[in-house]
Chain A
Amino acid sequence: MKRSSTAALLLMGVTPLMLTACGGDSHPAAAIKEQSYANIAYCAAAGNPQADCQRAFDQAQENSNAAAPHYKTREDCLKEFGPDMCQPRSDAHEGSFWGPVMTGFILGRMFDGGSSRYYGAEPLYRQRDGQDYRPSPGSYGGSFGSSRSGTGSVGGSTDAAGSRAVTASRGGFGSVSAARGGWGG
């Protein structure tokens, strides 16, 4: 929470002036570009900022349990993904299951005017037939694939992001689990 209510009043007094400068409907349409990479090195070699590649990899890996297709048995998983490509996984909702090994990730970048920035990431899993399996958009928190694509305008949005200054996918930030028991010392 803010320092004090005095600070809050001051802030409120100042911000409406800035609204005219940076708010409004003149926000240009933004596009989200998605590219898949096998690893961070390929991602960086393709011209993406190293930090974005690392972040995308980390985020994809963090989501790789929940996003993986769930199989009851190892055999079922091997049938789709091939030998040595399956591992025991678990997630908060369904407990233990068998799922494919993450073989790459998708980096989403938002191009807005002349600049671009990190937008989100998703894990990829190589199928037996060589095709990438991409989890359906929206299958886990932080997916950027569906509803968030399109314009970068924040006005009129009904989701939580529309009522905030930061509109990036929550999935792009650090794991909140760090704040559960990780208060240092």
Chain B
Amino acid sequence: MSLFGKLFGGDDAAPAPVNDLPLKLRLGGAVAYDDTMFKANAGVLGFDAPQGNQMIEALGKVDLGAGSHLYRFYLTDDAWLQVNTTGASIDDIKLFVYAETKNPPTKAEFVRWTEPGSQIGSAQVIFEGKSYARVWGDSPAASWTPPVAYDESVEHPVGGEANFDLTHYSMLYQREVPELPGRFEYLFVTAEDYGPEEFCVVYSLGVDVTSADLTIT
């Protein structure tokens, strides 16, 4: 029995720490992704899934308003699992793997990534020889639609790296995988703004994931 329990006569069944994270994922925990689909269709997707148990090394949270949140679980091998929730329900789970990072040499060049005519927001993006169509934006016909701006706060396990926040200017793209009808590969392009002197543009490739594909420990 805990000291607290001894002093106040409580029992050992003290409530566990409140964990409001979806799927019982937790910072410092681990997750393994069942990559059977990747193995059975080698070369069909533009990236490889992370192998084996992946530690959740950082957690990014985005409040999208209207009760909707994004949770990004950053994994050991340059991958991240994104869970999109509304209230207590899970709307969407995706696994993304970092594909390319660009470091604009000046602030002005970085800012141009967020402005009209930027690749972020163009109707389609050719990435590694494959064409991806824009998902967000009101008009599919518009040659450019503004990237979506939002803030993310990133936490690390206690005693780890310092927490920080950043502003994203993002656009989501997708292509239906010809070899796997009905399955989409996603290209997520985001301009990451950490501050007036720190920024980058990140391309990630991803797929839809179900909770059955995940082993969470």
* Interface set of A (CB-CB < 8 Å, partner B): 1-5, 7, 11-12, 14-16, 18-19, 21-23, 49, 51-52, 54-55, 58, 92, 117-118, 154, 162-166, 168, 170, 172-185
Contacts and interface: CB of A to CB of B under 8 A. Distances in A.
A146 B106 CA distance: 28
Contacts of A19: 197
A160 B82 CA distance: 26
Interface residues of B, number: 69
A52 B196 contact: no
A138 to B, nearest CB: 19
A175 B202 CA distance: 20
Nearest to A182: B136
Interface of chain B: mostly helix, strand, loop or mixed = strand
A166 B111 contact: yes
A183 B172 contact: yes
Given A163-B195, A173-B114, A18 B106 contact: yes
Given A154-B196, A174-B136, A180-B68, A165 B111 contact: yes
Contacts of A174: 121, 136-137, 145-149, 171
Interface string B67-94: 0101010100010101010100001101
Given A22-B107, A166-B167, A182 B116 contact: no
Contacts of A162: 196
B174 interface: yes
Contacts of A183: 82, 84, 91-92, 94, 135, 172
A19 B58 CA distance: 29
Given A51-B143, A181-B86, 7 more contacts: A1-B80, A4-B78, A18-B107, A18-B197, A164-B194, A164-B195, A178-B137
A52 B78 contact: no
